[in-house]
Amino acid sequence: MRVSSNTLFCSGTYTLASSITIDRGVNLTCNNTILQGNDVGYGIILSNPYVKIENCVIRDFAYGVVVNSDYNRLYNNRIQSNGYGMVINGNNNDLANWIESNDYGVVINGNNNEMRNLQTTSNTRGIFISGDSNQLRGIDISSNTEYGVYLTSGSTSNYLTSNTICNNAVDISNSGDSSNTGQNNKCDKTSGWNDQGTTGCTNKCT
């Protein structure tokens, strides 16, 4: 399904037979419409830049949302019960969404992306970062089975600030270098992670 102009969906549930693709510069507003999959394929694939997607519920796909392009804005979407909730391969994207009950919540392979506010909770794995210079700000990253945030050995200069990262098996695991850092985060269980000026996180969960 191709969305080629600004589109407002009527509220309801739509079972997708094929992925949604969106043209450059187009806004998609779902009005809390449920985009329903059958545990295979892709919900939304972004290959064009400057797209805005908001207020969608995207669930039961192998991949909920895959962003291969730059300068997109995804706000107030609920991405639930997918294999991979959101995969960010592009750069300079602005993300503020509810990511819940996926196998992988968010995978960030690109650079200079910002995730802020809202929640990444109750996934098997929370946020996986292999890219550089990404920011996580003000997010509730809690109750993920394996980890809240995992930074790979090749990742550099990622910055976490004012996040609540609690009740995960490991709250933050950093296999990258010390340029992955942050400030004013709340967590208890870390591996290789230090907020600036302290060991572990600035604040404890309890």
Q: What is the mean pLDDT of residues 118-137?
A: 98
Q: What is the mean pLDDT of residues 111-140?
A: 97
Would you state the pLDDT for residue 12? 95
Query: Do the domain assignments include residue 196?
Result: no
Strands (E) in 91-201, as ranges, are: 94-100, 104-108, 114-116, 119-121, 125-129, 135-137, 147-151, 159-161, 164-165, 170-174, 181-183, 186-187, 190-191
Query: Do the domain assignments include residue 19?
Result: yes
Query: Do the domain assignments include residue 54?
Result: yes
CATH classification at residue 52: 2.160.20.10
Would you state the pLDDT for residue 206? 82
Q: What is the mean pLDDT of residues 70-76?
A: 98
Task: Kindly indicate the confidence band of residue 59, based on its pLDDT and cuts at 50, 70 and 90.
Answer: very high
Model confidence at 198: pLDDT above 90? yes
Number of domains, the chain: 1
Element housing 154 (H / E): none
Would you state the pLDDT for residue 49? 98
Residue whose token pair is 């990258």:
176
Task: Kindly indicate the confidence band of residue 199, based on its pLDDT and cuts at 50, 70 and 90.
Answer: very high
Q: Which domain holds residue 129?
A: 2-191
Would you state the pLDDT for residue 154? 94
Query: Do the domain assignments include residue 18?
Result: yes
Model confidence at 82: pLDDT above 90? yes
